[in-house]
Amino acid sequence: MRKSSGTLPIMNEVFDLSGAAAALGIGMLIGLERERHKGTGDARHCAGLRTFAITALLGYVALQVGGGLLLGIVAGCVTLLTSVAYWRSQSDDPGLTSEVALITVLILGALCATAPALAIALGVVIAGLLAYRQALHHFANSQLSETEMRDGLILLIAALVILPLAPDRYIGPYAAINLRTICTVTVLLMLVGAFGHIAVRALGSRYGYVISAIASGFASSTVTIATMGQRLAHEPDNIRILSAAAIFSNLATVIQIGLILTMVDVDLLNSVWAPLLFGLIATLLYGACLMFPDPTRGSRSKPVDTAGAFNLKLAVIVTLTLTGITFVSSAMLSHFGQAGLWLTAMLSGFADAHSATASIASLAKAGHVPYDSIAVPALIAVSSNSVSKCVVAWVSGGRRFAACVIPGQILLTLAMWAGTVLF
């Protein structure tokens, strides 16, 4: 009788070592940086390349073998060992950077078991913070003023505490007031001011303001103009540079209108390419005339060192001004109804030319408006938005600032209308 042959199951064990490799890489990266600053003799730090690499692997293995309980025990032991090593150290350096970094590496090693990508990203950030210690110390002690530190804290509180708590719903008469929108615009004003402040510190007043104005203009050209007007109170000698930056922010508005129309349907550009081109040329010429009357003036003009990154009081005033314009527009729409696309474009353009253009493009795409008829309502929105910018320029920067900005806004608007008439 033949014995039936059984089939023995073949066990293929696949060992996934990606987590362990990530832990080892993190430990070696941070350990290598610490090894370079470890020192020698009795004054050396407690951990270097080997210690950090082993600690990262220890965290990974502890979580794999015993879970969170064993990891907690190991973390307590490592903390105790580092505390003893710090106490026995004869170094005059009172810092705890290496000790804290060692405990952090242990946790990152454990994190590699569940989220290796996040652990690697955090490890690279920590290594960067350790490597640029001197630069960070110099920035905090020599470059960052008390006023800038205060403004930074206010900005963080407004953006991370107040803004998320603001309700996102329309309230009041005509449903025109949105607290989340008000807070967002206020934070945006402060962010634009801070960005411009950093650009000026890095590039100087001549080019720093212009670059920051064009970049922030994609978020809101109106807000950018208000920010440049705010800075005039601290830098009255830079009136032409600040005014040029305010005008150049319109480049972002014109470009963004073209991008919005292109994203909806590229054929929409057929009737507005000439107004957009004329607007770009007019903005560049007028801004250049303001910026380059004297090639040597910009190099001598420097921002006031004691000026803060932004003016919170004026930011609130400008935000309330824009909210008031929106409220008036909503009231007119409520009383007069849908009086036509032109009226709607004009009213919505007071607050934002981009949203008005997007609405017009959407109507054309849906077939409610002919493609060759969008130029006029789009330019009405741009014109009403220019009126808002003129008001904001006067409120934020006063008569001198408005005298430089308003002619540029008028020239931009007339140039775009001329493009429509000629083509």
Print the SS3 string covering the chain.
CCCCCCCCCCCCCCCCCHHHHHHHHHHHHHHHHHHHCCCCHHHCCCCCHHHHHHHHHHHHHHHHHHHHHHHHHHHHHHHHHHHHHHHHCCCCCCCCHHHHHHHHHHHHHHHCCCCHHHHHHHHHHHHHHHHCHHHHHHHHHHHCCHHHHHHHHHHHHHHHHHHHHCCCCEECHHHCEEHHHHHHHHHHHHHHHHHHHHHHHHHCHHHHHHHHHHHHHCCCHHHHHHHHHHHHCCCHHHHHHHHHHHHHHHHHHHHHHHHHHHHHCHHHHHHCHHHHHHHHHHHHHHHHHHHCCCCCHHHHCCCCCCCCCCCHHHHHHHHHHHHHHHHHHHHHHHHHCCCCHHHHHHHHHHHCHHHHHHHHHHHHHCCCCCHHHCHHHHHHHHHHHHHHHHHHHHHHHHHHHHHHHHHHHHHHHHHHHHHHHHC
Is residue 143 within 8 A of residue 202, CB to CB? The reply is no
Give the model confidence (pLDDT) of 155-170 as tens digits: 889 888 888 898 888 7
Co-location of 397 and 314 in the same domain: yes
Co-location of 36 and 54 in the same domain: yes
Q: What whole-number distance in Å separates Cα of residue 362 and Cα of residue 117?
A: 40
- Which tokens hold the place of 319? 């935000």
Report how many domains make up the chain.
2
Co-location of 43 and 180 in the same domain: no
Co-location of 153 and 279 in the same domain: yes
- The answer to the question of residue 11 being in a domain is no
Please indicate whether residue 52 or residue 15 has the higher confidence score (pLDDT): 52
- The answer to the question of residue 68 being in a domain is yes
Of the given ranges (5-19, 216-230, 364-378), which has the lowest mean pLDDT? 5-19
Does residue 366 have a pLDDT over 70? Answer: no
Kindly calculate the radius of gyration of the chain based on its CA atoms and give it in whole angstroms.
30
Does residue 356 have a pLDDT over 80? Answer: no
Q: How confident is the model at residue 317 (pLDDT cuts 50, 70, 90)?
A: confident
- Residue 353's nearest CA partner among 333, 377, 373 is 377
Share of residues in the chain with pLDDT > 70 (%): 71
Residue 330 is predicted with a pLDDT of: 62
- The answer to the question of residue 121 being in a domain is yes
Co-location of 117 and 154 in the same domain: no
Residue 298 is predicted with a pLDDT of: 43
Average pLDDT value over all residues in the chain: 77
- The answer to the question of residue 3 being in a domain is no
Residue written as tokens 């909806």? 264
- Residue 213's nearest CA partner among 256, 252, 258 is 252
- Residue 309's nearest CA partner among 253, 367, 230 is 230
Co-location of 158 and 271 in the same domain: yes
Residue 407 is predicted with a pLDDT of: 94
Co-location of 184 and 121 in the same domain: no
Tell me the Ramachandran region of residue 5: left when phi exceeds 0, alpha when psi lies from -120 to 50, beta otherwise: beta
Residue 256 is predicted with a pLDDT of: 78
pTM of the model: 0.55
Co-location of 236 and 338 in the same domain: yes
Is residue 385 within 8 A of residue 353, CB to CB? The reply is yes
Of the given ranges (121-135, 278-292, 338-352), which has the lowest mean pLDDT? 338-352
Residue 278 is predicted with a pLDDT of: 94
Does residue 40 have a pLDDT over 70? Answer: no
Residue 262 is predicted with a pLDDT of: 80
Co-location of 324 and 400 in the same domain: yes
- The answer to the question of residue 185 being in a domain is yes
- The answer to the question of residue 242 being in a domain is yes
Co-location of 267 and 403 in the same domain: yes
- The answer to the question of residue 8 being in a domain is no
- The answer to the question of residue 12 being in a domain is no
Among candidate residues 83, 108, 140, the one where a domain is terminated: 140
Size (the chain), residues = 423
Among candidate residues 123, 140, 157, the one where a domain is terminated: 140
Co-location of 150 and 26 in the same domain: no
Please indicate whether residue 173 or residue 230 has the higher confidence score (pLDDT): 230
Residue 217 is predicted with a pLDDT of: 78
Co-location of 134 and 192 in the same domain: no
Please indicate whether residue 256 or residue 8 has the higher confidence score (pLDDT): 256
Question: How many C-beta neighbours within 10 Å does residue 145 have?
Answer: 14
Among candidate residues 140, 168, 197, the one where a domain is terminated: 140
> Which residue range(s) make up the domain with 273?
145-422
Taking CA 238 as the corner, what is the angle to CA 234 and CA 240, rounded to the nearest 5 degrees?
Answer: 135
Q: How confident is the model at residue 200 (pLDDT cuts 50, 70, 90)?
A: low
Contacts of 404 (CB under 8 A, 6+ apart): 239, 240, 243, 290
